[in-house]
């Protein structure tokens, strides 16, 4: 399944629907500090920090990637429930790690403290975890 990773700066109407579906499957804690998925999507697009995984023209996963001067922060990583377990999140993480290495900056995962899913993800991928 060739998933193409891209930084999405403009969302077509179909992209927007796909993003809404991706984050509709997210647990409520993943959306914080945003009150709803649309606010997260709007902010990430406005700040040009929305990283997406695309397959056959459709978005299957997304994350927010903040490119700070001293590190890159990956947050709000989510894959549509229908396509989980098929390597979409892995592909997003692999490409983000590659880009961070090329930029010579560390990549960290940021999440709300106490989220065991984020802790497991960070440990599994040997990423530092910082509070969101």
Residue 99 pLDDT > 90: yes
The total of other beta-carbon atoms located within 10 Å of residue 113's CB is 10
CA 121: distance to chain centroid?
Answer: 12
The whole-angstrom separation of Cα 71 and Cα 83 is 30
Contacts of residue 75, defined as CB under 8 A and 6 or more positions apart, other chains included, come to 63, 64, 65, 66, 109, 110, 111, 132
Kind of pairing between the strands at 107-111 and 72-79: parallel
What does the pLDDT read at residue 73? Answer: 96
CB 17 within 8 A of CB 70: no
Q: Is 114 left (phi over 0), alpha (psi -120 to 50) or beta?
A: left
The class (CATH top level) of 4-131 is alpha beta
Q: Per residue in 36-82, pLDDT tens?
A: 999 999 999 999 999 999 999 999 999 999 999 999 999 999 999 88
Residue 102 pLDDT > 80: yes
């979409």: which residue's tokens? 88
Residue 1 confidence class, pLDDT cut points 50, 70, 90: low
Tell me the domain boundaries of the chain. 4-131
Segment 91-100 mean pLDDT:
94
CB neighbour class for 62 (10 Å; exposed up to 12, middle 13-18, buried from 19): buried
């Amino acid at each position: 399944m060739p998933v193409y990773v891209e930084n999405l700066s403009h969302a077509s109407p179909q992209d927007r629907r796909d993003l809404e579906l991706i984050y509709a499957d997210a647990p409520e804690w993943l959306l914080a500090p945003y009150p709803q998925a649309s606010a997260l999507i709007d902010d990430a697009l406005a700040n040009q920090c929305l990283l997406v995984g695309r397959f056959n023209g459709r978005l299957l996963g997304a994350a927010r990637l903040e490119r700070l001067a001293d590190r890159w922060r990956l947050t709000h990583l989510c894959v549509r429930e229908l396509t989980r377990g098929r390597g979409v999140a892995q592909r997003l993480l692999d490409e983000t790690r590659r880009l961070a290495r090329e930029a010579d900056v560390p990549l960290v995962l940021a999440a709300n403290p106490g989220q065991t899913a984020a802790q497991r993800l960070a440990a599994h991928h040997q990423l530092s975890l910082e509070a969101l």
